[in-house]
Amino acid sequence: MGLFNAILGTSSKMNPDEIMRKFGHMLIEGEILQYAYQSVRDFFVFTDKRLIVVDQQGFTGRKAEYLCIPYRSIAFYSIETAGTFEVDSELKIWIRGMDQPLVKEFRKDNDLKEVYQVLSRHVL
């Protein structure tokens, strides 16, 4: 992840080895990691069974909240692509029982088609 993206707080795609190192211990038997994105301190992880949102908190970032969202709990979602002069795209996910959508920003050069495909495959 580049310094520019870290400053902006936008997300960038993580490589598969890094995903397994950081999140492999959270998987249940037979669960497969598919994609993960990292912003300054937070993570957005897609598996074949759920979405895991890791919110690192506090000054040191040692405290973290893990929000595990089964795909069946996602009511709907939207993707807003970046325009010509914008640096990021936005993903919004509405979760049943929550008033506000979960919102994550992605770098313009990330291909959100795969995120859309993962959500579509599991939610529809």
Range of the domain at 73: 3-123
Number of domains in the chain: 1
Neighbours of 119 (CB within 10 A): 20
The pLDDT of residue 5 is 39
Neighbours of 68 (CB within 10 A): 14
User: What is the tens place of the pLDDT at every residue in 31-45?
Assistant: 988 888 876 567 888
Domain of 98, CATH number, reads 2.30.29.50
The percentage of the chain sitting over the pLDDT mark of 90, rounded to a whole number, equals 23
- Maximum C-alpha span of the chain: 44
Confidence of residue 86 (pLDDT cuts 50, 70, 90): low
| Stretch 13-34: mean pLDDT | 81
| String of DSSP letters for 67-117 | EEEEGGGEEEEEEE---TT-SEEEEEEEETT-SS-EEEEEETTS-THHHHH
The pLDDT of residue 1 is 40
